[in-house]
Structure 1
Amino acid sequence: MNALLSSLATGLGQGAVYAVIAVGFVIIYRATGVLNFAQPALLILGTFATSVFATEMGLPFWVAVPLAMIVLAGVSAGVERIAIRPMVGRPPFSAAIVTVGLFIVLLVIAFRLFDSKSRTVGDPWQLSAICLGGEVTESFGVTGCTGGVQIYENAIARFVIALAVIGLLGLWLTRSKLGLAMRATSLDQETALAQGINVGRMFSISWAIGGGMAALAGALLAANGSVVQATDALFALVALPAIIIGGLDSLKGAVVGGLIVGVAMALTKTYQPQFAPWLGANFENVIPYLLMLVVLLIRPYGLFGTREVQRV
């Protein structure tokens, strides 16, 4: 039971990071109809920016992360203006291919910036843990828990921060005039134009939000006492099964899908070596895609996606 509770806590923390990435995907998809494959590269650039602010400039983690989000929001909006805006009116598939090219370009830039070195973001939690109902032990500077439930503080922090930011974003989208304009654009671009909404501006804002969320996810990714390299950008691709499970156009689905994937991976990592070792090492990395296939067979539009009926 202790292992189960500990795995659930870890999975929820990791799933919250997937949810943040997935929300960035969904915001851009709803506004532009384009699945932004450049999001993983934006995530790792956000991690790099956080690292520079926190470790090289000596800023507190709580200051470094918002600054990195602002920087990546500007970078993402600039990328949209230069590379994506000319694709307006073209088939969504064409724009998606452009984002694949952007992913490659931005990832090359990330490799140059990282200069083959691992980085940290100076998070305040490191490997500190809470021991519930047991005895706290410490070995080589790492806190352990004997006879109780060990919950890492970074898992709690990831979960709380991610859901708080997503909740504030959802509130802003439903209550502010700009948020309502973005929602109108996501529903029908031509009608939004007829109502005087600057659709191009809404595109830029959606990409800026996506970039900011990617930077937050990158900071939370590294906020577990580990180091990050440019190749960790591929971590964001796990969010693709999460958004498909939840529904491509649903913010609620992005959150639920991210948490489902995180918990499923954590439980698989804990119990699969014990009960099904024949599946091999690192089988938890396969679980998101198996869940995605199951959901697609049952609900092709995801758990919370909008059903589309086409009459022929």
Structure 2
Amino acid sequence: MTRLLQSLAAGVGQGSIYALLALAFVIIYKSMRVVNFAVPGMMILGAYMVVYFGNVLGINFWIALLLAILVGAVVAFLIERLAIRPMIGKPVFAIAIITLGIDVLLRVVTSDLIGTNIRNIRDPWGLKTFNLGDVVIQHRRVAMVVAAALVCGLLFLFFRYSRIGLAMRATAFDQEAALTLGISVGTVFALSWVIAGGLSALAGMFVATGSGIDQQSAFVALKALPAVILGGIDSIPGAVVGALTVGIFEGLSNTYQIQYLPFLGQNFAQVVPYVILFIVLLVRPYGLFGTPEIERV
């Protein structure tokens, strides 16, 4: 039982990182109907910015985090204005390819900045732990869960009660109707990217805690895609549920797979999210909470 609870705790913590990244995917998709493949690059840029502000410049961790989120939001805004806005009206596939190119650019630039060595972050949690009964829980895992919960709560209030949040919901529902109501769709697009950039930077900080970041850390963000597909690519609650589910299954696989299914290899847990993605696409391609596509005949 202790091993089970231990793996569940680790899975929920990792799933919280996936939740932040999944929200970055979903918010842009809901507003523009485009899958933003630049999220991994935006995430690793945010992680490096925390390292740069905190370790290189010696700024307080919390201020460094806020500055990194600000940089992530500004970079996302510039991407939307300079690369995505001119593509409005073009095929969605073309815009998705543009975001993929931006991701490659961001990761190449950030990899050069990171270098060949692991960059550690001076976070306040480190490898500290506490015991909950027989279960050992890392402080940073708790911070991940709390941060994801706060972000989800703030986004709920934002989309439910703020004028711009309601405008974003209206735009996601019907862009043409939103235009007729006087809603600035361009502003909605820009704000969606700004929010996604900030969330990616926050997730990047948590990826950097504990083991630090290297040139391969950006691939963590790709595991959020199966979470998005599982929950439904146009569903914010679905993104969170899908992310936690993927994280928990990954945690369980890390604990039990070698013992019960050793023939799958030692690193099978790394592909568990993609196995889930494959199964979901076969059984329920629009996800648990996604909107089924309606075909008119």
Q: TM-score, normalised by structure 2?
A: 0.97
- The Cα of 1:308 is off from its aligned counterpart by 2.1
- 1:301 and 1:121 map into 2 onto residues whose CA distance is 38
- 1:276 and 1:108 map into 2 onto residues whose CA distance is 37
- The Cα of 1:277 is off from its aligned counterpart by 0.7
- The Cα of 1:297 is off from its aligned counterpart by 2.7
AA aligned to 2:262 is: P
AA aligned to 1:106 is: L
Alignment match, 1:137: none
- The Cα of 1:293 is off from its aligned counterpart by 2.3
Secondary structure of 2:36's aligned partner: coil
Alignment match, 1:17: 17
- 2:177 and 2:192 map into 1 onto residues whose CA distance is 18
- 2:86 and 2:132 map into 1 onto residues whose CA distance is 55
Q: What whole-Å deviation, never above 9, does each CA across 1:120-152 have from its counterpart, x for those lacking one? A: 22111111111233xxxxxxxxxxxxxx21111
1:214 pairs, out of 168, 193, 200, with 200
List structure 1 runs of 4+ shifted beyond 6 angstroms: none
The answer to whether the aligner puts 1:198 opposite 2:202 as a matched pair is no
The answer to whether the aligner puts 1:159 opposite 2:145 as a matched pair is yes
CA RMSD of aligned residues (A): 1.1
- 2:180 and 2:135 map into 1 onto residues whose CA distance is 57
Unpaired runs of at least 5, structure 1: 134-147
- The Cα of 1:243 is off from its aligned counterpart by 0.1
Matches within 5 A, 1:1-312: 1-133=1-133, 148-223=134-209, 225-312=210-297
- 1:256 and 1:227 map into 2 onto residues whose CA distance is 27
- The Cα of 1:233 is off from its aligned counterpart by 0.6
AA aligned to 2:165 is: G
CA contact (8 A) 2:25 2:36 kept: yes
AA aligned to 1:69 is: I
Secondary structure of 2:294's aligned partner: coil
- 2:182 and 2:282 map into 1 onto residues whose CA distance is 41
- 2:12 and 2:200 map into 1 onto residues whose CA distance is 18
Secondary structure of 2:158's aligned partner: helix
AA aligned to 2:170 is: A
Q: What whole-Å deviation, never above 9, does each CA across 1:167-218 have from its counterpart, x for those lacking one? A: 2122111110011111111111111111111111111110111100000000
- The Cα of 1:306 is off from its aligned counterpart by 0.9
- The Cα of 1:242 is off from its aligned counterpart by 0.4
Secondary structure of 1:311's aligned partner: coil
AA aligned to 2:56 is: E
- 2:281 and 2:111 map into 1 onto residues whose CA distance is 35
**Residues paired across the two proteins, number:** 297
AA aligned to 1:269 is: N
- 1:61 and 1:263 map into 2 onto residues whose CA distance is 29
AA aligned to 1:195 is: L
Q: What whole-Å deviation, never above 9, does each CA across 1:220-246 have from its counterpart, x for those lacking one? A: 1112x2120132111100000000000
AA aligned to 1:75 is: V
Secondary structure of 1:192's aligned partner: helix
- 1:301 and 1:59 map into 2 onto residues whose CA distance is 44
Secondary structure of 2:280's aligned partner: helix
Q: What whole-Å deviation, never above 9, does each CA across 1:4-47 have from its counterpart, x for those lacking one? A: 11110010000000000000000011111110001100000000
- 2:19 and 2:249 map into 1 onto residues whose CA distance is 14
- The Cα of 1:161 is off from its aligned counterpart by 1.1
- 2:164 and 2:117 map into 1 onto residues whose CA distance is 41
AA aligned to 1:35 is: V
- The Cα of 1:294 is off from its aligned counterpart by 2.2
Q: What whole-Å deviation, never above 9, does each CA across 1:238-277 have from its counterpart, x for those lacking one? A: 0000000000000001100110010100100100111111
Range with greater deviation from structure 2 (63-72 or 205-214): 63-72
- The Cα of 1:295 is off from its aligned counterpart by 2.3
- 1:285 and 1:56 map into 2 onto residues whose CA distance is 32
Alignment match, 1:139: none
Percentage identity across aligned positions?
49
Secondary structure of 1:228's aligned partner: coil
CA contact (8 A) 2:115 2:215 kept: no
Q: TM-score, normalised by structure 1?
A: 0.92
